[in-house]
Structure formats: C-alpha cells, structure tokens
Amino acid sequence: MVVVMFFVITVALFPFGVGPESNILARIAAGVVWVCAMLATLLSLDRMFLNDYEDGSLEQLALCPLPLEIIVLAKAGAHWLVTGLPLILAAPILAMLLNMPAGGYLTLFSVMILGTPTLSLIGAIGASLTLGARRAGVLVSILVLPLYIPILIFAVGAIDAAAMSLPTRPHILFLAAILAAALPLAPWASASAIRQALN
C-alpha cells in the first residue's frame, strides 16, 4: 500500500512542478509514470531478504532440499505481486491524469506487465548483494538503478511509438527478451550472493 501511495503522490506532483499545460504533460507522461514506478519499486527492495536474514530463516531456507534459486524466484514473485501488480493497475489512471494520448494506454499496460517483473528480478540481485550491509536501501538503489535504464528506455519508447502510431513491436520484444534473460539469471546471481552472505 505504501508503494502505491508513493507512486500516486509522486506522479501527482509533476503537474504542479511543470505546470498544467496539457501538451507538456502528454509529452512527458510515459517517462514520468515509468520513473515513478521504478522509484516506488525501490522502496521495498531492501526488505526482500532482510527479515529472513536477520531472524535466521534465510539460512534454513538455504539448507533445505529445494534449490535456493527457486526460493529466490518465489521471493521475487511475491515482491512483484505486492508491488508490481498494484503499480500496473494504478498506472493507466495516473497516465490519464497526465493527459497521455489515447493510443498509448494499451501499450502502457503491455510494457508494465513485461517490465515490472523484471524490476523485481533485478531488484532481488541488489537486495541479496547488500545483505548485512549498513544503509542497505541506499546501496540497493545505487546497484539497481543503472540496470533499470534499458527497461525504462524500451518501455517509454514503446509508449511514445504507440502514441505516434508507430510500430511498438521492437520495443516490446526487447522488454520480453530482458525478462526472458532475467528469469534464469537473476535467481542464480541472487542465490550466489545469498550463499556468500551466509558464509
């Protein structure tokens, strides 16, 4: 709930900051929605494994017969359900607030479905690398934000292309490829970092 409230408030601040001119808001709508969604996702990343790490249950999970990569994937999936899915539902309403062109809404929904799970998967890597570190939230942001940039570029590019009646397929395929790469690689990298933190 905090993530969604942050998302809504942050997006709602932009009309006050840049002015109520509808053409300007429409031009920046896709970028504003996506940047705010990324920042909202960052809010909860440092807690993905931290509670389990502090109470010792993460060590028990690492010792159980189930591969740690599967556990990490489940954790990332739970994070997406709690953060990514509400962002997907809120994004079209906030895009309407920013006067996004009508042609961009379906594409916004599509790229949010492809992009938000990738944010959670990449975020799992950052969360696992900062286990036990002081100021873990700041470190996660520094580690993860550069990796979020390709998702931002292709997602906003797809929405802008749809608004101008241009092909969106290349952008969406790139987002799908990033998700397909993150599904096996992110749990493996995150599990390796968790094992290192537990040693």
Give the pLDDT score at 52: 81
pLDDT below 50 — which residues of the chain? none
Contact 66, 93 (CB under 8 A): no
pTM: 0.91
Closest residue by Cα to residue 103 from 32, 154, 166, 155: 166
Give the pLDDT score at 33: 94
Give the pLDDT score at 61: 82
Concatenated DSSP letters for 88-118?
HHHHHHHHHHTT--GGGHHHHHHHHHHHHHH
State how far the Cα of 73 lies from the Cα of 57, in Å rounded to an integer: 17
Give the pLDDT score at 80: 94
Give the pLDDT score at 74: 93
State how far the Cα of 36 lies from the Cα of 97, in Å rounded to an integer: 14
Q: Can you read off the two tokens belonging to residue 141? A: 């942001």
Give the pLDDT score at 23: 86
